[in-house]
Amino acid sequence: PLIRNVLSARKIFNWPELNAGQALFYGLVPAMIHLARQQELYKEPYLAKDTAIDECIKDGLVTNRSVRNLLASFVDGDRYKVMEPLQLFMDLAENDKFRWIPFHMTEVLKKLVQEVPSLDENLKVAMTKIENLFREFSTGEESSGMVWENLFLLVVIIRVVSKQFDEVILP
């Protein structure tokens, strides 16, 4: 089960500074929040993420189109848009939809930008901006409103890059 509220999570994980942005960044998943608190997110099994990304690269699955689909899946939850090796790091939500854990999305985007030179440069710029906004979302102060502005910007950028509403907004 996911955490129900930040106040109880602060007590459970002995993390008084935990805010809503951080909790969402770790997908509201108790194990991830615990590992983040212990600063152990880059140990096993999370290093398996690198292996999955490497597999996508090695098998030629990473293209401009597959990255746009990957980004679209963050908004629409369509698991068929996600490269199969990466599906391991997504959370199954209602109606057979996937739910990305933002921490995992940032790590995937970062590695793809660094290791796939064939990706379009504009797409790489957008991926880096999305990664940075996710990280700012997780570190921002709740009361400033920037956390929620970053979330809004994230969704807009993802929708534009993945062409999810071209016919409506950008005819």
For 135-159, the DSSP string reads HHHHHS-GGGSHHHHHHHHHHHHHH
Specify the length of the chain in residues: 171
Instruction: Kindly tell me the number of DSSP H helices and DSSP E strands found in the chain.
Output: 9, 2
Q: Which two tokens stand for residue 115?
A: 């290791």
In this predicted structure, what is the pLDDT of residue 43?
63
Judged on CB neighbours under 10 Å (0-12, 13-18, 19+), 141 is: exposed
In this predicted structure, what is the pLDDT of residue 109?
95
Cα end-to-end distance, the chain, whole Å = 42
Rounded CA-CA distance 100/120 in Å is 23
The packing angle between helices 146-161 and 64-76, to 10°, is 130
From first to last of its 171 residues, what are the pLDDT tens digits of the chain? 688 888 989 998 899 988 888 888 888 888 888 888 887 666 655 567 788 999 999 999 999 999 999 999 988 888 889 999 998 877 776 677 888 888 889 999 999 999 999 999 999 999 999 999 988 888 877 667 777 788 888 888 998 888 876 555 554
Model-level pTM? 0.84
